[in-house]
Structures are given as C-alpha cells and as structure tokens.
Structure 1
C-alpha cells in the first residue's frame, strides 16, 4: 500500500506528479514489466495506491546481497533485458521514466523484475515534444539534463547504461561524494572501465552513455544490436510479449513491508 498525505500532495507540483503516476500505472495495467496498481482510493486525510507486493525486494537489495561476488554475464543480461522491456513499453506510450535506479527495480517471488515508482515520470514526451525539468537521482541523471538541454526518452537509456555498469562493477561510473562533483564528472570526465569488464558490456555501456542523445543506443537501435552485445544465447526479445523463463534470484523477505509501501517524502 502506497500512502500519501493530502496536505503534502497539494504542496507545489506534488499533485501533478501524483496524478501523473496514477495515470501511468493505469495505462500500464497487465504489462508484465511494470509494477501493477490494483486500486486507488482516498479518505479525508490520505490517498492510497494498492500495489502488488515485491516480496523479494529490489535490485538495490540484490546488489547488496550479491557483492562482492560478481554477477554472471547471463544474469546481467536477464535483469537488463526485463528493464529494457519495461522502458520500451513506457516509451511506446510517450512516457519518460526519469528515475531508473536499483531502488526502483522491484524483484518478485518468481525472480522477475518490474519497474515501479513513477513519481518523476512524465507523460506526452517524445522526440517532437521534449521537456526540460531538472530531476532524477544524481548518479543516474543523463548528460543532457545536467547540461540544461531539452530532452526526451533517451535520458532513460543513459540511466540504463549506468545501471548495467553498476551490475558489472557494484559502483556507478560517475560516483562522487556530492552532487556537484557528480555533475562535473558527467559533463567532463571519461569513464574508467575496469580491465575485468568483458568487451560486450563495455560496448553496450559506451553506447548507452553516449553524451549526444541522437547517437545514443535506445529503442529500435538497441533492440537490433543487443545480440551483438549479449551473445549468450539465453536472451530473446520474444520476451516482449511475456516473461523470460530463466530465474536467477529469489530472496523472500518475511514480515517486511513491501518496498513500495510508503513514499517517505509525502508521509
């Protein structure tokens, strides 16, 4: 259950964000790569979103659980593939996510992952209708947002590149101790790839972290090239119509609240 206090929702642009999140969740019903909304209702003081429960936690929990033991390559492919499918669905609806990070990738008891928390997502965005709001989580924000350019759904592919780097190394490529230094790293610095990173991962990360969004991997280009980057034989894009069959990680968390239960900023 996601619970929001009305008095806080009515502050600033929070109401717009909450309405947008509800609408996006309604559009995403029955999509296997998006966390499902069952009901939305309210009382005098609060709004309630009744969501499906991700009992196995989040990709953030998985990174903590796995470290420092490296992920297998086909495990990286598995999780990246389902995230790609979620992003492609959102983009097909002209929705830019803007907050892809491990904490927002939810793992279910069958081991599959789904995207959730659409508080920063924006509707009606595509290559012909861009936006310019500065938002996101510092380590995952795309170059063009930091550069104060108008942007479209390509910012999500940048965030995916950060996430794949993190799955490969347990750290993000532009990490610093404060947001100012992170901004400078994104705008000015080159990525230092560890020698242990395999060629395919480096290639796809480099394509996703292309500073020119017009040259960045994404959507159809990514779909066409993915076999070259991930030639494991375990990944097929027929999963766009359903689930992948192979599951790597399930960790039940008994007597723990659903990770998407509360929006701490609006309680």
Structure 2
C-alpha cells in the first residue's frame, strides 16, 4: 500500500502529493510564514546517512539545493530552503501549478510554430542565465520543464547539475536521459554548457515533429547519438515550411561540441531570426492544460477547467493513488536521473564477476559504454584474454591500452617490441595495420571482426562484418571492404589495425 501522507514536513503543513519515487516524495505544502503554497522535495534519511548506499545520492541532493538556490530567474523554479527533520532531508521550492512539457507534446492538439518558439526562447533564456552563473543542467527533457498556469515555462530538477566546483556525477554511469543527452555524456568526455544546447536541439526537433531525432533501444540510441546524423526535420515532417529549422538543428545537434552553438543565447538569436510573426512571451491561455494533484486538500486551480482528455482519478475512498510522473506538475522525486549503461545481459556461460572486473577497468578509459562493449565482445569469445583483446581498441591512449592488455596475459598491441601471441601468423616486427596478402577467410573471422569493430561502429558492427564477409574471399578483401563502409569521422587506420590484430 502507499505510504501515508505526513501532516507536516519540517514546519510546513502538507496539502497533497505532487510526485513520488524510490528516494522520496514531492509534496504540495503551505508556507505559514509567508502564506503561500510551496513544493517540498524529500529524500529518505537512510539514503543520506547509510554508507551502504551510493554516497553520491546525498551529494547530488545537496548539489540540487545549492545549484538551483543560486538561481533567481522567471524561467527557473526557485528554491527557497534546504532542511532536515527526523525522517528526511528536503528542499522547499516554488510550487508550479501546471503540467510538464511532455503532456503538451503528447496532447492531441499540436503546438504551433510560434508556440514552439515561445517555449524555446524561454528555455534558452533560463539556460543562459544558469550557464552564466557556472551551472550546467545536464538533463534537459520534457519531464523537467513545467508550464505554469500563466503559460510561463519553468526549468526544474537540477539534481544532476554540474557546478563549477563540483564533479560529483562523473564515473561509470551515464548522466542524463537517453535520447536527450549529448554525445560527450556517453563517452565520458568533459562537458560544458553545450550539452544543454544539444538537449535543447532535441526538444526543438521533438516539438516540431512529434518524435525525437534518435529513437530505438537504449544502446541503439547511444550509437545513433554518438555516430549517426539525425534525419532533417523537413524530411521527417515532409513540411517544406520547416526547412529553415534544419540549419539550426544541424548546429544544435552537432556531434562535435565545437560545431554547436557556443551558448544558449546564440541559439536563441538564431531561432528568433526564423520567426515570421510576433512570438508571445508566454503560451496563450486557451491551450494551457489544467494541473493535476491528489491529496487531502488538493483543489483544482482557480479559473481552470479540467483537461477533458485527461483520465479520471480514483476517489479518495478507493484504492491508494499512485502519482503519474508523466502528468504531475513537478518531476517526481524518483531516483535521480542517472541512467545505467544500456541493458545488455551477461552472455551464457560467463562468470558475471569476471566480466564485471573487465568492465570496471575499461570504464575508467571509455566511460559507461564499457559494459556494452565487453558483454557484446564476450558473446563470440571464450576467454577473458580474448575479450580484453577485442575491446582494447576502444582505449585511445597507447600506454593505457598496453596496461589493459597486459592483464590476464592478453596479447599486446603489435609493435617492434611486443611479444606475439601463439595465434600470430605474421612477424612481430610487421608494421601495424599491414595486411598479410591472399590469406583466405576462416571460420570464426566474422565474430572476431565484429567484436573488434564494436567500439568503432557500435551495434551495427556484426551486420557490417557479415555483409563484408559475404562478398570477400580473402581476409585482405574483407578488411578493405570494411574500411570502405566507415563513416568519415571514424579513424580508418585504427580500425584496420584493430581488425588485423583480432584476426591474428
């Protein structure tokens, strides 16, 4: 059953539930000192005090209070106080009576271009203000953007924000939400304000087309964001009137941060130049969706009609209500949006702990994608040494790659001084990447090549290997065929060397 709603959190009387999650709750409360409604985001004290839990949970919660507390802007949810009582720690913040942007995107009535521009300009205003004060949000998505009952957009949930003096969320987890985060967040690279620019580009694309530019399973999305260009908006919508937005989206969604807009304000200026009519400051009242709330004293907003398309709620005498994160006016206090690597099961027959150790080591060099690389490589191999050999090419630094390969007796990269493995069919003094001529394809070559290509090509590596093998009689032809398939941003010489090392 649902936990009972407390009468108070700290000195604040509770009026209803806004959202819920494993870490805590978000309540509608009353501030008796100023006589105003507030939202209170809680976190269970056991998560703050227990050393058995991820210590970064507490740190991120305090970062949210610190980060958002420094920001006073019309397009950012204000934070009033951080407090603690016997059962929980909590953040007291501005209560936004409204719905999140996801509801507007999913509503039957599509947003008009001028309304999309209205929301984007507000979002970019708020982001620019935060960025200028050294705070990067890193999880901009529809559920974290609220539309108040006056039509104003508000950015919320700074739970994984990065401040100038904080680096709490780096490590082996993907920070952010699949589909909205920038390529550098997947590759464990340094991040700055341009990750929020990328996310803003995704939102613009989604509001104008109804779909995100990168779709599929988590691992497919990861690959597409890092390697594949998005389809032009005008092509997806088949609407020539949206062609001017293609150039803006090309910059906002650029894989290389250096090719993106350097700031949210620069992107805002580019969008404003596309407006063919006056852009309203806030959304018009006739399209606003009524807020949803449940609790002992919850009442609909004054002057608002309930959204007729919204499903009915059970009465207070029926089964306990479970808040719907998609329709609550504040993002639920669910576990902070730190997404684990895409779900790839441990291959049958492998020791989970042994593979996990390789994953941890590799993650130090390539970030969260290590789990995908190791587990996919293990599918076609039978020893840890072979797995290390297959995934080592993902490590760019030569010395780090050598240390990684040296463990468990894995054969090292071929150089003039490296010791060849027993399976080597050419001399150790051979120049790296040089192909033995005329050697026929062998059984198992496709699996070896697919594992070696995984770090460069992602999920499509196996498909590329099979297609190239089908039209090749020799290994030389096979490698040449694979190289021909590579995108311009992939290092062909490195891929060629990785293939020959894997084929042996």
Corresponding residue number in structure 1 for 2:141: 101
The CA deviation string for residues 152-196 of structure 1, in whole angstroms up to 9 with x for no partner, is: 1111100011111110111111111x2111111112222123122
Give the TM-score of the pair, scaled to structure 1.
0.85
The answer to whether structure 1 residue 221 and structure 2 residue 291 are counterparts is: no
Deviation at 1:89, TM superposition (A): 0.8
What does residue 421 of structure 2 align with?
Answer: none
State the match for 1:159 in structure 2.
Answer: 199
| Structure 2 residue matching 1:206: 3-state secondary structure | helix
Larger CA deviation: 248-257 vs 79-88: 248-257
**Contact 2:105–2:111, Cα closer than 8 Å, also in 1:** no
Q: Distance in 1 between matches of 2:165 and 2:113?
A: 33
Q: 1:114 is paired with a residue of what secondary structure?
A: strand
For 2:98 and 2:269, the matched residues in 1 are separated by 32
Larger Rg: 2
Change (3 A) 1:232 1:143: same
> Which residue of the partner structure matches residue 70 of structure 2?
27
Count of residues in Structure 1 that have an aligned counterpart in Structure 2: 251
In structure 2, how many angstroms separate the alpha carbons of the residues matched to 1:4 and 1:46? 6
Alpha-carbon distance change, 223 to 125 in structure 1, aligned in 2, over 3 angstroms: farther
Q: Out of 236, 252, 256, which is 1:212 matched to?
A: 256
Output one character per residue of 1:110-130: Cα deviation in whole Å (capped at 9) or x when no partner: 01111000111110079xx9x
Q: TM-score, normalised by structure 2?
A: 0.47
Is 1:260 aligned to 2:330, yes or no?
Answer: yes
Q: Matches of 1:188 and 1:246 in 2, distance apart?
A: 36
After TM superposition, the runs of 4+ consecutive aligned structure 1 residues lying more than 6 A away are none
Calculate the aligned-residue CA RMSD, in Å: 2.4
Structure 1 gap segments, 5+ residues each: 237-243
Q: 1:39 Cα deviation (Å)?
A: 3.0
The Cα offsets for residues 207-262 of structure 1, whole Å up to 9 and x where unpaired, read as: 1001111110142532443333x2234249xxxxxxx2553532222544753274
- The answer for unaligned runs of 5 or more in structure 2 is 1-39, 296-327, 337-504
Whole-angstrom CA distance in 2 between matches of 1:262 and 1:168? 26
Contact 2:152–2:282 under 8 Å retained in 1 = no
| Contact 2:197–2:252 under 8 Å retained in 1 | yes
Aligned to 1:117: 157
CA contact (8 A) 2:214 2:225 kept: yes
- Partners of 1:85 and 1:100 lie apart in 2 by 14
Q: Give me the whole-angstrom Cα distance separating, in 1, the residues matched to 2:246 and 2:165.
A: 29
The worse-fitting range, judged by mean Cα deviation, of 147-156 and 87-96 is 147-156
Equivalent residues of 1:125, 1:152 under 8 A apart: no
SS of structure 2 residue aligned to 1:171? coil
- CA distance in structure 1 between the partners assigned to 2:111 and 2:291 by the alignment: 21
Determine helix, strand or coil for the equivalent of 2:335: helix
Would the alpha carbon gap of residues 93 and 203 (structure 1) be closer, same or farther in structure 2, given more than 3 Å must change?
Answer: same
The 1-side partners of 2:191 and 2:331 are apart by 31
Match for residue 114 of structure 2?
74
| 2:212 paired residue among 168, 172, 175 | 172
| Structure 1 residue 73: Cα displacement | 0.7
Deviation at residue 148 of structure 1 after TM alignment: 2.9
Query: Larger relative contact order (C-alpha < 8 A, sep ≥ 6)?
Result: 1
